[in-house]
Amino acid sequence: MKRLEEGESTWPSRKDVVSCAEVCGTWREICKDIVPSPEFCGKLTFPVSLKQPGPRDGLIQCFVKRDKSTSTYYLYLCLSPAVLSESGKFLLAAKRNRRTTYTEYIISMDPNNISRSTNGYVGKMRSNFLGTKFVVYDTQPPYNAGSLVSCGRGSRRISSRKVSPKVPTASYPIARVNYELNVLGTRGPRRMNCTMHSIPASALDPEGTVPGQPKKLFLPGSSSCEESFRSANTSSSSRFSVTERSLDFSSCRFSEAKERPLVLRNKEPRWHEQLQCWCLNFRGRVTVASVKNFQVQQQTQAPSSSSAPDHDKVILQFGKVAKDMFTMDYRYPLSAFQAFTICLTSFDSKLACE
What pLDDT sits at residue 177?
95
Strand partners, 200: 261
Q: How are the residues of the chain apportioned to helix, strand and coil, as percentages rounded to the nearest 5? A: 20, 30, 50
What pLDDT sits at residue 170?
72
The maximal CA–CA distance of the chain, rounded, in angstroms, is 64
252 inside domain:
no
pLDDT digits (tens, 9 = 90+) for 241-250: 333 433 444 4
240 inside domain:
no
The number of domains in the chain is 1
What pLDDT sits at residue 259?
81
What pLDDT sits at residue 349?
67
Provide the domain limits for residue 288. 51-142+168-202+259-300+313-353
213 inside domain:
no
18 inside domain:
no
| Structural contact between residues 283 and 189, judged by C-beta atoms closer than 8 angstroms | no
What pLDDT sits at residue 69?
94
The pLDDT tens digits along the chain (354 residues) read 899 888 888 888 899 999 998 899 998 888 888 999 999 999 999 999 999 999 999 999 999 999 999 999 999 999 887 777 777 899 999 999 998 889 999 999 999 999 998 889 999 999 998 888 999 999 988 888 877 654 433 344 444 444 444 444 578 999 999 998 764 455 567 788 999 999 999 999 988 999 988 877 655 555 443 333 333 333 333 333 333 433 444 444 444 446 899 999 988 888 777 776 778 888 888 888 888 889 999 876 554 444 455 556 899 999 999 999 999 999 999 999 999 999 999 987 655 444
What pLDDT sits at residue 313?
87
270 inside domain:
yes
The model's pTM is: 0.81
320 inside domain:
yes
| Structural contact between residues 130 and 348, judged by C-beta atoms closer than 8 angstroms | no
What pLDDT sits at residue 214?
82
Q: Cα separation of 125 and 138, whole Å? A: 9
Q: Cα separation of 146 and 264, whole Å? A: 23
Q: CB within 8 A of 305, min separation 6: which ones?
A: none
What pLDDT sits at residue 230?
31
Q: Which of 313, 322, 272 is nearest to 295 (CA)?
A: 313
Cα–Cα distances (Å) from 270 to 188, 277, 278, 281, 331, in that order, read: 10, 8, 5, 10, 23
What pLDDT sits at residue 251?
42
245 inside domain:
no
What pLDDT sits at residue 89?
92
Q: CB within 8 A of 300, min separation 6: which ones?
A: 307, 311
Residue 187 belongs to domain with CATH number: 3.20.90.10
What pLDDT sits at residue 166?
46
What pLDDT sits at residue 250?
44
233 inside domain:
no
What pLDDT sits at residue 187?
57
What pLDDT sits at residue 247?
44
| Structural contact between residues 176 and 126, judged by C-beta atoms closer than 8 angstroms | no
